[in-house]
Amino acid sequence: MKPYLKAHPEGTLLSLKVIPRASKNEIGEVLGAELKIKVTAPPVDSAANRAVIDFLAEVLNCPKSAVVLLRGSTARHKTLLLKGLSSEAVEAALPA
């Protein structure tokens, strides 16, 4: 299992380092125990958080309601709960 994924009773925990105001939405490289993700939205009024949730729901082909922000609503380092998704399914859906 990748270091940024952890099993959880409700699904999978995903650790991220978010880079707001990027030129495009994309998933970057692994940084320690976090996955870097870039979003075009600014870090104002939770716009970047919404962009992360929308982008991950699209990449993982799951409903937005299945992507829940647990920690880091005002920080670059975030922990998300991916409800109903196994760590194997998440690992397979994310680019290598």
Instruction: Identify whether the C-beta of residue 64 lies closer than 8 Å to the C-beta of residue 52.
Output: no
Find the largest Cα–Cα distance for the chain: 36
Compute the average pLDDT of residues 60-74: 97
Length of the chain measured in residues = 96
Return the CATH number of 5-93, one of 3.40.50.300, 3.30.1200.10, 2.60.40.4070, 1.10.1070.20: 3.30.1200.10
pTM above 0.75, yes or no: yes
pLDDT-based confidence at residue 96 (cuts at 50, 70, 90)? low
Which letter, b or e, does each residue of 40-63 get, where b requires 16 or more Cβ atoms within 10 Å of its Cβ?
ebebeeeebbebbbebbbebbebe
User: Mean pLDDT for the chain?
Assistant: 96
